Structure formats: structure tokens, C-alpha cells
Chains A and B, each alone.
Chain A
Amino acid sequence: MSGGIDTGDTAWMLIATALVLLMTPALGLFYAGLVRSKNTLNTFMMSVAAIAIATVTWAAVGYSLAFDGDGAIIGGFGNAFMQGVDFAPREGTAIPELVFFAFQATFCIITTALISGAVVERMRFGPFLVFSALWSVLVYAVLAHWAFGGGWLISGGTLDFAGGVPVEMASGFSALAAALVVGARKDYGRQALLPHNAMYVLLGAGLLWFGWFGFNGGSGFSTGQGSVLAFTNTLLCPATTLVVWFGLDLMRGRKVTAIGAATAIIVGCVLITPAGGYVSPGWAMLLGALGAIPSYAIIVWRTRTRVDETLDVLAAHGTAGFFGILFIGFFAQASWNGVSDGLFYGNAAQLGDQALAALAAPIYAFVATFILLKAIGAVMPLRATDREEAMGMDVVQHGEEAYVTGEGAILLLPDDHEKVAVPVADPG
């Protein structure tokens, strides 16, 4: 055993990292179920793309900019291309920096994938790859530095256990900007655009919740009390969100809906993400119950607007992340977290620190994403043509279909390829 490494902590963090990585395919499933069947593969592929792109950018510069040094705004290039990331313990933890690096990489991946929910069914795949590469560095790494890596928020006292700032508010408000820049689907507001497979949605939500135990439970980087508290709160908080969501569904439509329940699981997990290791189990249950209401309201309101933020990333992640960050300011309890009290326990200053984060993160994420997508849009078209959108992104962007039957398919042997000059995207 090398010096300063705790085997128990390391074992848990290895597993937690794998749990968080699972969340991205789970998100792909959740999102794929919510779109129409002709866009199933493309929607899932955006999550796969995030794994590919964000891992590479994270290894190249993202990790370094987020976690090297304690500059106020941004880290350094000391760990660029994983220089110095090895078996020695990461400062402040008893786990090898390699594990810390991988754990943090999975956060960058899922956050990048989350934004795809705003642009599915019409954004072209190529520009999404470019966007993922730039966003994972220019937005995620910056906000991760602010909240986790020694930047101005964490050094100013803001508490964010597992990513209310860089993950939840960043993805939610970036999604809003992305939806505004890319624009609504051509049939949005004119036709009913319905989820094609509610079972995928439920299964995806279930797997996300499972992975979230690694996400929150690993964010103490140890098997210590903060991790244990966050782990159990990740069970309690989404459960109360579900209960309240059932009630809201009953009041609104007299029926408890399945896709509503899947959404409630996500909202509950997001609510507890920033607060997991800072509030008592009792307050975590209150957080889940109260936090359901603003997200529910925004989902109901958003669908009446012209803003096609298609899969409601703003409501589920932005709004719930905002609520969770502020909640810490009221109900943090030093007797549980060993760090700080909130307003309710006599420390009003904590609420100020939390409010600052709740203001700064959405503004930075929204503005940076808006500019980034406008810039990419100036170089290449962001969205498919109306005709391509009608055909579905699976055939147009990937040349595959999710539910292909094979009837009428003629096998092309290698020699035949030259004879068939068929641009898939341009029939007729």
C-alpha cells in the first residue's frame, strides 16, 4: 500500500466511478424513450458521443482546467494530458489521483450528455460533436473549477456536495440556451409529439437512480460520514419527490402517470445532488417533497410556450439544482456535515454563499452556451432540414433504424457498393 492511500476508500471510489458511468447510457435510454421512434438511435447516440468526446477533452485539458491549482476563475495546465496524474493520493483525499480523475471524468460526460435533451430530433450529429468538445471544456471545466476545484465559489464558502453548480444548473440553463439557438422542431406546437416507449423511460430512470448512489455517495471521495449521509439521502429524497409528484399528478389529471414518475425520480436525485452530504435525512425528505413543486410547475408551463426545450432539462436539472443549492443555505447542519450550518441553524451567511452560486452558475452557463452555439452555427448548420427532420434523424444521420425489420432489404456485397450511389439524406 502506498503512502496516504486508504484501500477502503479506493475500493468504493472505483465502484462509484463505474456507477456514474452507467448513468450516461441510462440517460440515453431515458431520452430515447421520450422521443419518436424514428429518432431513437440518434438520441441515444448523443449520450454515447458524450462518453467519447468528453472523456478525450477531459484527459487533454478539462481535468487540468478544473482541478489544477486554486485560481479564482480557472485552473492551470499543470495536469494537461494527464501529466502527474498517477497513483499518489489526490490532495485532500486518500484515493489515487487516477481514480479521482476517472470519477470526475464521468461527471463531465453525463453533464455533456444531459444537454442533448434540449436539441434532440433536429440537431445534426456533427455539430453536436463539436459542441460537446467545446462545451465540456469551456463550460463544464470552468464551473467544476468554481464549485469543486478551488475556484471562487468553493473558496468563498459555497457548499455543493456533488454538482448542483457544474452538473445540474450548468446543464439545465445551457439546455435552455441550446433550445433557443437551435430552435423548435418543425412540428412543435402543431402536432402531438409523443414519447414512443414509456418502458425505456422508466428503465432509464431506474438505472439513473442506481447510478446516482455512486454519483452522490462517491462525492465525499471516501467511505466517511459525508458519503454515507449522501448515499442514504439519495434514497430518501427522490422517494418523497415521487410521493408529492403522484399527488400533483392526481390533482391535475386524476391519474398517476408513469412518465411523470420517471421524471420525479430524476428531479428527486437532482434535488439531493448539491445537498446530499450537508443536510440531515429528515431535511432531505422535506427537500424532495418541496422541490417537486417548482419542477412540476415549470414542466407544465414550458409546454405551453414556444420554447422547444424538448426533454425538459431546465425543469428537471436546472430548476431542481437551483432549489437544492438554495436549500443548503437554509437547512445545512454542522452537527450532520461537520462543515457549516445554514440560516435555520443560525448562520445566515451560508444562504448568501448559496444564493451567489445560484445566480452565477445559471448566468455563466446560459451566456457561454448561447455564444458557443451561435459561433458553431456560423460555421456549420446546426439543424437538419425540414425534410430530414420528417424522415427521422436515425436514417439521415446514422444510416440505421432502431426498429428495422429487414423485410425488403437487399444485401449489398462488397462489389455492389460502387454501383449504388445513394445519398441517404437526399431521397428523390
Chain B
Amino acid sequence: MKLVIGIVRPEQANQVLEALYRAEVRGFSMSRVQGHGGEMDRVETYRGTTVQMGLSEKMRFEVAVSDDFVGRTVDALCEGGRTGEVGDGKIFVVPLDHAVRIRTGDSDEGAVTPVGK
């Protein structure tokens, strides 16, 4: 079991959702985060106050999957998130000790496998 964390551009979020859907990855969560990944900063001016915006808005996907699904999940995140410009984001795959589906009490592989599989 792994937790796949993908941080992508907000404007690519829809493409990522489509790619995950096509890859039959059904369970995930998504949140708005702010981050910095080496892209050039934006300079904004608010009535004479000029600031360098060090953080950019990003979308963070968290997908808990069984080992068989890691590859296709990573591929989907890459495919949906890539524009080729600096700032497309990162994917992290980390080991997952334990998972529980709250409704049924299913644990581990059973908890991260979509219902009906």
C-alpha cells in the first residue's frame, strides 16, 4: 500500500481528474495548497506597495492505493499535470502502514480498493 501525493497546477486539476478517472483510480482527496517549486516569482503591485509573490496556488491530490495501482496513478498525475513549464509540480510516493474504511471497518488493501472491485 502506498500513499501517492501529487502537487499540480490548479489550472491542470481538471485534466488530472480526467486522467485519474480514465486510469480507474476512484478514491482520492484534493486540497488547495500554496507552495514554491523553483518557478519564477510574480511581482504584483497594490497601490504603490510592490510585492514579490513567493508562493503559488497549487492543488494537492492524495491517493491511497494498493501496490498494483501505484504505476497507473503516478502516470495519470503526470499526464494530467504536465505543461512542460517550470512549476508543474511533484509527485511523492510514500509507504502506508494502515488504512481503514470507516463505514465497514475494512482495513488495509480492502479499504483502499474501490467498492465493487
Residues of A within 8 A of B (CB): 187, 191, 387, 390-391, 395, 399-401, 404-412, 417, 420, 422, 424, 426-428
B110 touches A (CB below 8 Å): no
Report yes or no: A400 in contact with B45, Cβ–Cβ below 8 A.
yes
Bound-complex Cα distance A404 to B47 (A): 14
Pairwise interchain contact B36-A408, C-beta atoms closer than 8 A: yes
7 tightest CB-CB pairs across the interface, nearest first? Answer: A408-B55, A428-B86, A390-B11, A409-B51, A408-B54, A428-B85, A412-B50
Do A399 and B43 contact each other (CB < 8 Å), given the known contacts A409-B53, A412-B51? yes
Given contacts A409-B53, A412-B50, A412-B51, contact A400 B87 (CB under 8 A): no
User: Chain B 39-53 against A: per-residue CB contact (8 Å), 1 yes, 0 no?
Assistant: 111111110011111
Q: List 14 A-B contacts (CB under 8 A).
A: A387-B85, A390-B9, A390-B83, A399-B42, A399-B43, A401-B44, A408-B53, A409-B55, A410-B54, A412-B52, A420-B41, A422-B41, A422-B43, A427-B42
Which residue of the partner chain, among A404, A412, A422, A428, contacts B87 with CB atoms under 8 Å? A428
Please indicate the chain B residues that have their CB under 8 angstroms from the CB of A187 in the complex: 14
B34 and A422 contact, CB distance less than 8 A: no
Nearest CB in chain B: distance from A358 CB, A: 41
Among B58-107, those with CB < 8 Å from A are: 83, 85-87
Residues on B close to A: CB < 8 A? 9, 11, 14, 34, 36, 39-46, 49-55, 83, 85-87
Chain B residues in 8 Å Cβ range of A399: 42-45
Distance of A101 Cα from B117 Cα, bound (Å): 72
Q: Which residues of B contact A428 (CB under 8 A)?
A: 39-40, 85-87
Chain A: which residue is nearest B52 at the CB level?
Answer: A410
> Contacts A399-B44, A401-B44, A407-B55 known; A427 to B39 CB distance under 8 Å?
yes
Number of A-B contacts (CB under 8 A): 69
Cα A152 to Cα B10 with chains together (Å): 54
* A175: min CB distance to chain B, Å: 26
With a cutoff of 8 Å between Cβ atoms, the chain A residues found around residue B86 in the complex are: 427-428
Within the assembled complex, what's the spacing in Å between the Cα atoms of A424 and B40?
A: 9
Indicate if the CB atoms of B54 and A409 lie closer than 8 Å.
yes
Residues in B whose Cβ lies below 8 Å from that of A401: 44
Selected contact of B85 from candidates A191, A408, A410, A427, CB within 8 Å: A427
Q: Which residue of B lies closest to A399 (CB)?
A: B44
Residues of A within 8 A of B54 (CB): 408-410
Contact yes or no, B42 A400, CB < 8 A? no
**B43 contacts A420, CB within 8 Å?**
yes
Q: How far, in Å, is A28 (CB) from chain B's closest CB? A: 19
A12 shortest CB reach to chain B, Å: 37
Tell me how far the C-beta of A408 lies from the nearest C-beta in chain B, rounded to whole angstroms: 3
Query: Does A424 contact B43, Cβ atoms closer than 8 Å?
Result: yes
Shortest Cβ distance from residue B22 to the other chain A in the assembled complex, whole angstroms:
15
A404: contacting residue among B9, B36, B44, B85, CB under 8 A: B44
Q: State the CA gap A407–B87 with chains docked (Å).
A: 18
| Residues A407 and B40 in contact in the complex (CB < 8 Å), given A390-B11, A412-B52, A427-B87 | no
Known A-B contacts: A400-B44, A422-B42, A427-B40. Give 7 more (CB < 8 A).
A395-B44, A409-B53, A410-B51, A410-B52, A420-B43, A420-B52, A422-B52
Q: Give min CB distance, A285 to chain B, whole Å.
A: 44
Q: In the complex, what residue of chain A is closest to B84 when comparing beta carbons?
A: A428
Residues on A with C-beta less than 8 A from B87 are 427-428
Residues of A within 8 Å of B50, CB to CB, are: 411-412, 417
A408–B42 touching, CB < 8 Å? no
Provide the residues of chain B in CB contact with A408, threshold 8 Å: 34, 36, 53-55
- Please tell me which one of the listed residues B9, B36, B40, B49 contacts residue A422 in the complex, with CB atoms under 8 A apart: B40
Taking the nearest CB of chain B, how far is it from the CB of A245, in angstroms? 30
B11 cross-chain contacts in A, Cβ below 8 A: 390-391
How far apart are B95's CB and chain A's nearest CB, in angstroms? 30
A140, B83: Cα distance in complex, Å = 42
Chain A contacts for B83, CB-based, 8 A: 387, 390
**Residues in B whose Cβ lies below 8 Å from that of A410:** 51-52, 54
